[in-house]
């Protein structure tokens, strides 16, 4: 097999040596701590084998926060390198690797899992269900995502990172120009994580179509459920394209085919085409659920129903449909001619219309509302102007002819950070502050939360606003340095200072989690925000079966009306029935591990070993096929005990619509 052991670990760079040591020590530390605290069994039964959507959601969120840290570090390193002209902190190769891993990690391993985590926690509760449609498949989705993410992350200490950009365009990403194994990590790790995401999409479509509680028609669903539903449809539509493109890439790199390799009659542009056929919908896959989160937060803290519910639903559907037919705006400069470029300019600009409709809906929801400025609401408020800047520059970029000027400059980089950070990061922060008490039974500290908010928002604007002007002045993206004569230095410096403020904001966020875990008041109501949707009608943290009695829905904002009319809030003993729940399973984590091993071997092109490991995958599939575990029943006594514990507590107010 010709294994080059001397190239196995990356050596010779003090930064990387430092990380290798840090990773090793962290792993030893974690294993030692778990063993010392005797938590292995707890970890295994309560978390690693769980099929409970809430716990899976929390695991997604924890992974996403860690990945945010990793991707943010990459961002800071890049900002440090470009802070001054001709810096010699990172060399060009290292810079290439870092913007590549930054882009991939932020989008696929931070934004996606963060949102999918919140979807997991919230959606079954919002529709009054006891779990998702396929709980074990849900666990498998998580473990495949986690396996792919870990495989991708080890690339920088073992084997070498991919360095052809998060878009990995051919011919650069092909074997000819990237002969190392770095880009194999891209092809294989994203494939594994992508399978998990595809299954999540299927799972949530079925869950939302089939498991809504009595009375919840489609047009009575909360907006976050709607956006999750449409996002899931987009996932199922778009991810297979990426799956195929990655498979062809793998064949080209590992087995000498020529789908995208120009030398053998392949077509490099086909990669760009397929990548963005997935890549653009992907942007909306992360943006739509975020819009849903803002809708919930804004309605709750304006104490009003969402303005223009129907137009909101139709604009989501419109955005989803349009998002499938705009992909060429990412490569106008490839030169597909005036007809193609004009068509895609028009479709792209058209997306601004439904997005604008949503903006006005949010503004009108706040109009005459009694707005409560909580941390969650602050994120939603800041989202509106920041996202508008991203949107307006997007319309500028949408013009095919003008794009020849902006293409590949920092103007574009500023634009998409202005879309992704307000559109996704602000949203997941809002969602986290909002749903945190539901997940854990205590709140995040509001005062620290406001520090987090102001530092992050100011830091974000100071970091990325200068990049618009740098780009207009001609600073190109993905360039590791620039000359003093270019005159870029002051703005680059400003941007670097901004990124430090941004990082301080993130640090305060981490401190807030720590502080709140240690000191926050545990004695809070299960409905601390006086909210409107069903997830707030049950205990915090939510009991494993979600609802003792499935709620019945008569209108939008069902919980609000239940509180107002004092209906369906109490539980009579006679209403308690046994509840059927799915059992834990070791198979999902086993599949994650075995996929990770097989993927790792494939990355290193050890084909025989990879084939042997793949037998383990088939073994898992076969075991699952003969798995007749029917789950278990929760006895009435137990339900009784659990319900009494939270319903009878002091301060549990159920009817305080104010």
Number of alpha carbons in the 13 Å side-chain half-sphere of residue 364? 12
For ligand HEM, the closer CB: 379 or 595: 379
Distance CA 221, CA 215 (A): 10
Cβ proximity to other proteins: between 136 and 540 the closer is 136
Asked if residues 205 and 232 have their Cβ atoms less than 8 Å apart, the reply is yes
Kindly state the smallest distance separating residue 265's Cβ from ligand HEM, in Å.
28
Contact 463, 498 (CB under 8 A): yes
Name the binder of 280 from Cu ion, ligand HEM, other proteins, none, CB < 5-8 A by kind. Answer: Cu ion
d(Cα 136, Cα 261) in Å, to the nearest integer?
A: 40
Nearer to other proteins, 142 or 275 (CB): 275
**Cα–Cα distance measured from residue 220 to residue 225, given in angstroms and rounded to the nearest whole number:** 10
Residues of span 167-196 touching ligand HEM by CB under 6 A: 167
Which of the ranges 46-54, 418-426, 446-454, 509-517 carries the binding residues for ligand HEM, by CB under 6 A?
Answer: 418-426
336 makes contact, choosing from Cu ion, ligand HEM, other proteins, none, with CB < 5 to 8 Å by partner type, with other proteins
What residues numbered 319-378 form the site for other proteins, per CB under 8 A? 324-325, 328, 334-341
Which CB, 197 or 461, lies closer to other proteins? 197
Which pair of structure tokens corresponds to residue 254? Answer: 């590992």
Report d(CA 113, CA 119) in Å as an integer. 9
Q: What mask of x and - would describe binding to ligand HEM in positions 203 to 242, judged by CB under 6 A?
A: ----------------------------------------
**Residue among 173 and 306 whose Cβ is closer to ligand HEM:** 173
Binder of Cu ion out of 54, 70, 94, 280 (CB under 5 A): 280
* Segment near ligand HEM (CB under 6 A); pick from 165-173, 205-213, 431-439, 623-631: 165-173
Interface with other proteins in residues 91-150 (CB under 8 A)? none
Q: Which of 278, 291, 358, 390 is nearest to 326 (CA)?
A: 278
Rounded Cα gap, residues 427 and 538, in angstroms: 24
Beta-bridge partner residues of 581? 632
Provide the mask over 229-248, with x wherever binding to other proteins is found by CB under 8 A and - wherever it is not.
--------x---x-------
Residue 4, class by beta-carbon neighbours within 10 Å (0-12 exposed, 13-18 middle, 19+ buried)?
exposed
> In whole angstroms, how close is the CB of 210 to other proteins at the nearest point?
11
Rounded Cα–Cα distance for residues 442 and 458 (Å)? 28
**Partner residues linked to 634 by β-bridges:** 579
**Considering beta carbons, is residue 106 or 137 the nearer one to ligand HEM?**
106
412: β partners = none
Q: Computed over its alpha carbons, how large is the radius of gyration of the chain? A: 25
* Near ligand HEM by CB under 6 A: residue from 10, 48, 61, 111: 111
Torsion angle, CA of 182/184/187/188, rounded to 10 degrees?
-120
Supply the minimum distance, in Å, between the C-beta of residue 276 and other proteins. Answer: 10
We find the least distance from the C-beta atom of residue 267 to other proteins, in angstroms, to be 7
Q: Which of 330, 236, 326, 232 is nearest to 288 (CA)?
A: 232
Using CB under 6 A as the binding rule, whether residue 107 contacts ligand HEM is answered as yes
Task: List the alpha helices (DSSP H) in 127-181.
Answer: 135-153
**Residues forming the site for ligand HEM (CB under 6 A):** 72, 75, 78-79, 99-100, 102-103, 106-107, 111, 165-167, 413, 417, 420-421, 424-425, 463, 477-478, 499, 502
**Residues forming the site for other proteins (CB under 8 A):** 237, 241, 267, 269-270, 273-274, 277, 324-325, 328, 334-341
**Residues forming the site for Cu ion (CB under 5 A):** 280
């Amino acid at each position: 097999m010709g294994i080059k052991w001397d190239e196995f670990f990356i050596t010779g760079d003090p930064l990387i040596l430092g990380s290798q040591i840090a990773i090793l020590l962290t792993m030893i530390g974690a294993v030692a701590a778990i063993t010392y605290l005797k938590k292995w069994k707890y970890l295994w039964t309560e978390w690693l084998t769980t099929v409970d959507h809430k716990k899976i959601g929390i695991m997604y969120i924890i992974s996403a926060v860690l990945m945010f840290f990793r991707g943010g570090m990459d961002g800071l390193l890049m900002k440090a390198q470009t802070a001054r002209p001709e810096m010699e902190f990172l060399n060009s190769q290292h810079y290439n690797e870092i913007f590549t891993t930054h882009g991939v990690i932020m989008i696929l391993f931070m934004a996606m899992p963060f949102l999918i985590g919140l979807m997991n926690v919230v959606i079954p509760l919002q529709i009054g269900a006891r779990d998702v449609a396929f709980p074990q498949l849900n666990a498998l989705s998580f473990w495949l995502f986690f396996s792919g993410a870990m495989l991708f992350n080890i690339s920088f200490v073992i084997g070498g990172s991919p360095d052809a950009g998060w878009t990995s365009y051919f011919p650069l990403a092909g074997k000819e120009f990237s002969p190392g194994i770095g880009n194999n990590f891209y092809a294989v790790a994203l494939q594994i994580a992508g399978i998990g995401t595809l299954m999540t999409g299927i799972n949530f479509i079925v869950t939302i179509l089939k498991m809504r509680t009595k009375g919840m028609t489609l047009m009575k669903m909360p907006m976050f459920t709607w956006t999750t539903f449409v996002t899931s449809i987009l996932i199922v539509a778009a991810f297979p394209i990426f799956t195929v493109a990655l498979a062809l890439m793998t064949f080209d790199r590992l087995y000498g085919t020529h789908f995208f390799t120009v030398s053998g009659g392949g077509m490099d542009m086909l990669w760009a085409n397929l990548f963005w056929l997935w890549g653009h919908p992907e942007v909306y896959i992360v943006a739509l659920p975020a819009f849903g989160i803002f809708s919930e937060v804004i309605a709750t803290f304006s104490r009003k129903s969402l303005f223009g519910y129907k137009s909101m639903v139709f604009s989501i559907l419109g955005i989803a449909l349009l998002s499938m037919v705009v992909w060429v705006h990412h490569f106008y400069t490839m030169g597909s001619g005036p007809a193609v470029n004009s068509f895609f300019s028009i479709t792209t600009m058209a997306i601004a219309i439904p997005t604008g409709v949503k903006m006005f809906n949010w503004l009108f929801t706040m109009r005459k509302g009694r707005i409560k400025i909580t941390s969650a609401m602050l994120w939603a408020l800041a989202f509106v102007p920041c996202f508008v800047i991203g949107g307006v520059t997007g319309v500028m970029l949408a013009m095919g002819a003008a794009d020849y000027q902006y293409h590949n400059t920092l103007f574009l980089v500023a634009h998409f950070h202005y879309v992704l950070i307000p559109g996704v990061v602000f949203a997941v922060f809002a969602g986290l502050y909002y749903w945190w008490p539901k997940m854990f039974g205590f709140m995040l500290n509001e005062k620290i939360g406001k520090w987090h908010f102001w530092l992050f928002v100011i830091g974000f604007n100071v970091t990325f606003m200068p990049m618009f002007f740098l780009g207009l002045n001609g600073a190109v993206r993905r360039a590791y340095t620039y000359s003093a004569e270019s005159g870029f230095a002051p703005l680059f410096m400003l941007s670097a200072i901004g990124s430090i403020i941004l990082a301080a904001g993130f640090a305060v966020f981490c401190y807030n989690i720590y502080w709140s875990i240690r000191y926050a008041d545990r004695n809070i109501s299960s409905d601390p925000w006086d909210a409107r949707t069903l997830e707030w009608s049950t205990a915090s943290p939510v009991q494993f079966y979600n609802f003792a009695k499935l709620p019945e829905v008569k209108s939008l904002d069902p919980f609000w009306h239940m509180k107002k009319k004092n209906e369906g809030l109490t539980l009579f003993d006679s209403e308690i029935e046994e509840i059927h729940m799915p059992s834990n399973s070791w198979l999902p984590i086993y599949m994650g591990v075995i996929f990770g091993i097989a993927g790792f071997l494939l990355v290193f092109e050890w084909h025989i070993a990879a084939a042997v490991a793949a037998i383990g995958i088939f073994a898992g599939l076969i075991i699952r096929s003969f798995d007749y575990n029917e789950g278990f029943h929760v006895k009435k006594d137990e339900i009784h005990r659990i319900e009494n514990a939270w319903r009878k507590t002091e301060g549990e107010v159920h009817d305080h619509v104010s």
